[in-house]
Amino acid sequence: MKVGIVGSGNVGAGAANAMVLRGVAREIVMVDINTKRAQAEAEDILHAVPFSSHAVVVRQGEYSDLDGCQVVVITAGVAQRPGETRLQLLERNAVIFRGMIPQIVASAPEAILVIATNPVDIMTHLAAYYAAPLGVPRRHVIGSGTTLDTARFRSILGRAMDVDPEHVHGYVVGEHGDTEVLAWSMTTVGTVPLEDYAQARGIELSDELLEEIDDGVRRAAYRIIEGKGSTYYGIGAALARIVQAIVRDQRSLLTVSVPVESIGDVRDITFALPAIIGGDGIIAVLPKPLNPKEQRLLEASARTLRQALDELTAAGGM
């Protein structure tokens, strides 16, 4: 199993390290315009292999070295400049993807592309747009979506409910960003609806507690970035989990960025919904049994993304 990572910054390196520790791949190739950084990260991560109990080769490479990759993770992109608008950032990242996607596909035409570059829903949409003329099926382009947000939700809620987060089944859907939707109505602990579980354990689900958890999930990235400059451990682990589901054909249910034909009055966007992911990429997108309020919020999230895509198209960025 061979996996490529394009972009050897903190997120790409974090993903590679998590893959090594989980034993996700037999070979990991790290590609970056900064070859010294890619080489250094690959060498540093390789030194962790003896502690992982998995035989893994981690090396720096070029686009041509992606040949034979089952999955290529894309974390490359530019950061927002001071005073730069979101549209200007999108235009610059669109230029990067327009040149990068054909090079990846030329070397690894069968690979499934996993996008992590932010804003991830729009960049996943663009990656699929650039890959389609090259023969890449839409099911082979997946964004990390709200996989990390869902993990944050389960972690924080598990702590509040005094239970292992592994047994919290809750989802964050929509945009990976400010308009994301915490699907409280779908949340269970084991097979027990959240409200019933809380009542049985004598835990009050007050408005204050729900708001605190929502803020903990929705504002997590802002707090982490303020404290240390960027987030990478959580997203690295999330990317390793997505790749694991693909290379092992696990048919895992994850909240990844997937194509959405229509939702409410919005058409043709990409954002996070619960989807089954396996060896052939996106296998199925599941129905969304949300309550009316959550559905309205999800449609508002979709409109936010559609507006950004329309602005990018009008600016000639697609």
**Which residue numbers are catalytic?**
176
Distance of CA 223 to the CA centre of its chain: 19
Q: Order of strands, edge to edge, in the sheet holding 266-278?
A: 57-60, 27-31, 2-6, 71-74, 112-115, 141-143, 252-263, 266-278, 281-285
Buried b (16+ CB within 10 A) or exposed e, 87-118: eebbbbbbebbeebbeebbebbeebbbbbbbb
**How does strand 252-263 pair with strand 181-182?**
unpaired
Between vectors from CA 96 to CA 256 and to CA 41, what angle results, nearest 5°?
Answer: 75
Cβ atoms 126, 94 nearer than 8 A: yes
Task: Tell me which amino acid residue 77 is.
Answer: G
Contacts (Cβ under 8 Å, ≥6 apart) of 218 = 178, 180, 182
**How does strand 2-6 pair with strand 71-74?**
parallel
